[in-house]
Amino acid sequence: MECKVVPTSLSATLMRGLLEVEVDEAMLAPESLFGFAERRNPKRAFLFVSKVLGRHIPVRPSLMAASFDSLAAQIPADLPGPVLVIGMAETAVGLGAGVHRAYSATRADSMYLVSTRHPVGTELFTRFEEEHSHASAHLIHLPVDPDVRELMLNARSLVLVDDEASTGKTFVNLHRALVDAGLSKIERVVTCVLTDWSAGAVSECIGESATQVSLVKGSYRFHEDSSAPLPQMPDVGTVSVGEWPLSSANDWGRLGVRSVDDTLAPDLQVKPGEKIIVIGTSEFVWRPFLLAERLERAGADVHFSSTSRSPIALGHAIDHALSFSDNYGLGIPNFIYNVKPGQFDRVLICSETPAQAVPASLVQTLKAEVIVDGQ
């Protein structure tokens, strides 16, 4: 992706007001990078829906990988190490892993860690808040592996990855929480997002040690209709261990990793041109993405997407939604967007919980196969 300056004005009329966007810079045409949607969230009405993230809109793995590489290429190469890359739950855990994979190709002193809403039963390092979110609390676990833990505790640079930055406040909250918890050697901070509307807020707050990189940069204004009714938001903010507890032994990022192997369904065979969608579940997206990449390389017509706890209204970039119970046994609603029954020849739902934890209604509706991590 080559950087272009493409000043563009976009807008979306939502049920709760008018969203106006000014794009100052973009790696590609803005319309090919993001669209709009309306949150079912009284705290914030609007959502920028990425067309390269693979969360709310199915995306080809190769296109996702190109965005990982483009973001990583903008991260300063001279960051003092060790470098701690953190992906933000739930939406950006796969994006963060992809950015780390690309960046770590030239930096052996880097590691990846995700914030999470799923405790794994090991020691927590800190927690922080994302005030506007449908699930505001984030947990950061302390790595169990001694070498990975040492890398984290000695980190001199932070790369904080999210899908978008509206005000930059979540990044500032995370940075403060990490420093307060004991990361005392941090010299540089890089925020890394697909779309950045924060007008340099992180750099203003943290100082000259902070750098902000993105695929899209600009600003927005939301003209809220004060007479519009506020939506009822389902209770999706749960941060706890569910009926299906997670094994810390099969970690892909919550406890910190240097790299992650492609281990899902190693013997899976596909036909050339077979239309397949690989679906990750909640925060479990990186190993499913690696599977999708492998199937695309094998000649299948592959898209990637994921289930989400984010409640979004139909309309604009969201033209279809399925709702079902989560596969962790938390009793909260989950959703998958823009994946219609019969749209693909083959649907592969990938899970870090047992197959029986994946809602039968979802499997039946999509006529899906369930692939379980570690089996």
pLDDT digits (tens, 9 = 90+) for 232-268: 887 777 788 889 988 888 899 999 999 999 999 999 9
Domains within the chain, CATH numbers bracketed: 260-372 (3.40.50)
pLDDT above 60: residue 353: yes
pLDDT above 60: residue 135: no
Going by DSSP bridges, is the β-strand pair 137-141/124-129 parallel, antiparallel, or unpaired? antiparallel
In this structure, is the dihedral angle defined by the CA atoms of residues 169, 321, 357 and 341, taken in order, positive or negative? negative
User: What pLDDT sits at residue 4?
Assistant: 63
Q: Tell how many helices (H) and how many strands (E) occur in the chain.
A: 8, 17
The 8-class DSSP code of residue 230 comes to P
User: What pLDDT sits at residue 241?
Assistant: 84
Mean pLDDT of 331-345: 96
In this structure, is the dihedral angle defined by the CA atoms of residues 226, 322, 193 and 283, taken in order, positive or negative? positive
Residue 134 pLDDT grade (very low, low, confident, very high; cuts 50, 70, 90)? very low
Q: Of 19-23, 228-232, 246-250, 291-295, which range is least confident?
A: 246-250
In this structure, is the dihedral angle defined by the CA atoms of residues 235, 241, 242 and 245, taken in order, positive or negative? positive
Alpha carbons 218 and 196: distance in angstroms, whole number: 6
Q: Which residue has the higher pLDDT, 80 or 128?
A: 80
pTM > 0.85: yes or no: yes
Alpha carbons 46 and 30: distance in angstroms, whole number: 17
Tokens linked to 291: 């599977």
pLDDT above 80: residue 60: yes
- Residues 6 or more apart whose Cβ sits within 8 Å of residue 303: 58, 59, 60, 61, 276, 277, 278, 292, 344
Helix 93-104 × helix 286-297 angle, to 10°: 60
In this structure, is the dihedral angle defined by the CA atoms of residues 236, 286, 241 and 255, taken in order, positive or negative? negative
pLDDT digits (tens, 9 = 90+) for 214-229: 999 999 999 999 999 9
